[in-house]
Structure 1
């Protein structure tokens, strides 16, 4: 659309003059230059590699970024956001083994890859993925946003979100309440109790409210990787 209707390809520099892009470019250039100056101050590239300073800097940056990735504050489309559990796997020759030594290699989606690998192995062994039932309360306008949020989060860990039928029909062992804060105040506790009576072993709530019968809460900014890993553990997904 941008190429055909906005003629993006006919402009030499479509971002030229954009305050947003120019500001980011300026910040990146200054940060990069300061990094190179710090390397020079510490004796140059060979020296910072031998001393371990560069590896320590990279590890500190990766810890910060890893926390953002785990909390989905740095989303990865198709992995931590909008995953498609039904997509066919990609088959390709494995990459050559890296040379020994040197700086560590990391992938920004590796934590979610590990979770999906557990789900894939469970699917291969049992014929189905681990499931969670999304118990929506009230009309669609009240529960759609949080149900979509919950589905995205659980599917990022390879946990199939069931949104139709009853809890007993879902084949799930756990459930997640999805609705508005107003309806939670009225119905969360009784709905959680009903799910317990139906056999739910763990009840989540999409939101920050605390109610009797609710074991865990999921919300934007929470450690999604930690929640998903613990959930797979409880479900017996090795």
Structure 2
């Protein structure tokens, strides 16, 4: 356990799944935590009641609202960008507006949120993006647009790590593989197929991703930046 007492932490997309596990971890470790949510109000209220973390309704696809939320919580010691969208299917029939919204949430929002946070982030701050192992490997048909967004995060993280490195601010990308969440349950119809690609044949627990986020936010990770921290049970090995 890392001591984050009095650290100011914002988790974008924190009401469910991996985001909620990250909110719980930083709250338990003493941080002052706020998180955003878009539509899952009931889940956000439950998490607030459990952790005391402040819930802020913000649509990550709305750049002005997103940057206002980030600025309003600053100066941040830690920004975790977890909000994401998933659209998969035949690229010849997928709705173009849905693809553009996914790009807004998965690519544009992380860039603008990270830049806004860095304006006031103190020396030694931490920016962590939750990407996907699909940035490295897309073994299924229908995932081209989603993989595009997760590969774009890799380039963004490498570049921002150099832009902010002189201030000791680290920028890293956590790349989970199949993780047991509402979006991808361990007992879901694709579980056996996904496990077939993995060396450790089970879904990742959200708490395991949260533990990696806490490590990257802590003092021992001060020289880890511009990195892709893959936690996928060997899915991409």
Calculate the TM-score normalised by the size of structure 1.
Answer: 0.25
Higher-helix-fraction structure? 1
Q: What TM-score do you get using the length of structure 2 for normalisation?
A: 0.25
Higher strand share: 2
Taking CA–CA contacts closer than 8 Å with sequence separation of 6 or more, which of the two structures ends up with the larger relative contact order?
2
